[in-house]
Amino acid sequence: MARAIAGGTISFGLVSIPVKLYSATQASSGVSFNMLHAKCKSRLKQQYVCTHDNEIVGRDQMTKGYEFAKDQYVTFTTEELKSLEEKATQTIDIAEFVPLDRIDPVYFDKAYYLGPEKGGEKAYRLLCEAMRETGRAGLARYAARGKQYLVLLRPSIDGGMVMQQLLYADEVRPFSDVPMPDETEVKEPELRLAKQLIDQIAVETFEPTKYHDDVRDRILADIERKREGQEIAVTAPEPEPARIIDLMEALKASLGKSKGASPATAESSSTAPETGADRKPARRSEDKAEAKAEPKKKAAKR
């Protein structure tokens, strides 16, 4: 059973819904390594060294500062830093509702589950169903941990509600920063094959349990081998696959691979079937060949 990490109140119009916040994700279970002294295998400590005096500085001699110009800082005491923090209100104040499909997921940050507090079950369910049927989500502000967050309230596929923390506009780089070539023409045969490839590997539901971190599993297995005194086989990196310049050939080969067939099979399947008119020329050529061979057969009989 999940444990609530905080409480809050959803507010929109004159409606208030008491809720509890739950972590929707858990800390990354990636494999981490510690820095050790190679000679004795003891753990190393990190120290702060003053770049001016070239001496080790203890925490009791540290202060925090903001660099407003090159190597120029304005410093703050602990009390001053506390006064700068946003006061936590625990209110999730919805400012507007927007179509969910118009929000680019690039703005998505950490997610939380929202559960109804006692007495707010009906209003909670009403808001979930209203957002689901209208296809809209609520944009709100939420103050906690000394900061003010922009959040998105949206219905989950499990019937509950998710509070998605969003990045602010100045935290997301515009795609215009990415160098792009001049617009190139997409040919209809290429588009048709690309859509066919998408259809072959398309699914209707997202099943996250189908996917596992294979790299993490492999590293943990190697760690266990090392712990048991075994050696780890160091393999050379695999060569990069050859780049296919011909886009049509790459699409046809991909179709064949997804079908478990050869590229030639994929090529024949991507073209229209032969009609009777298409086969007649081949038949006429066979008739001509038989007509030429007939005199030779008669001469042989004589």
The pLDDT tens digits for 112-141 are 999 999 989 999 999 999 999 999 999 999
Q: Between 211 and 30, whose confidence is greater?
A: 211
Say what the pLDDT of residue 109 is. Answer: 93
Contacts 24+ apart (CB under 8 A), 20-24: 20/114, 20/115, 20/116, 20/117, 21/112, 21/113, 21/114, 21/163, 22/112, 22/113, 22/114, 22/115, 23/112, 23/113, 24/110, 24/111, 24/112, 24/113, 24/162
Instruction: Determine the Cα–Cα distance for residues 100 and 154; give it in Å rounded to an integer.
Output: 8
Whole-number average pLDDT of the chain: 81
First vs last Cα of the chain: how many Å apart?
Answer: 99
Instruction: Determine the Cα–Cα distance for residues 171 and 168; give it in Å rounded to an integer.
Output: 5
Q: Which helix (H) or strand (E) holds 165?
A: strand 161-166
Res 216 pLDDT > 80: yes
Say what the pLDDT of residue 122 is. Answer: 94
Mean pLDDT along residues 195-205? 88
Domain ranges in the chain?
A: 6-25+85-171, 186-201+247-271
Query: What is the number of other CB atoms lying within 10 angstroms of the CB of residue 134?
Result: 11
Res 199 pLDDT > 50: yes
Question: Residues 247-285: pLDDT tens digits?
Answer: 778 888 888 776 554 444 444 444 444 444 444 444 444
Res 104 pLDDT > 80: yes
Shortest CA distance to 141 belongs to which of 88, 192, 105, 180?
Answer: 88
CATH tag, 6-25+85-171: 2.40.290.10
Res 291 pLDDT > 70: no
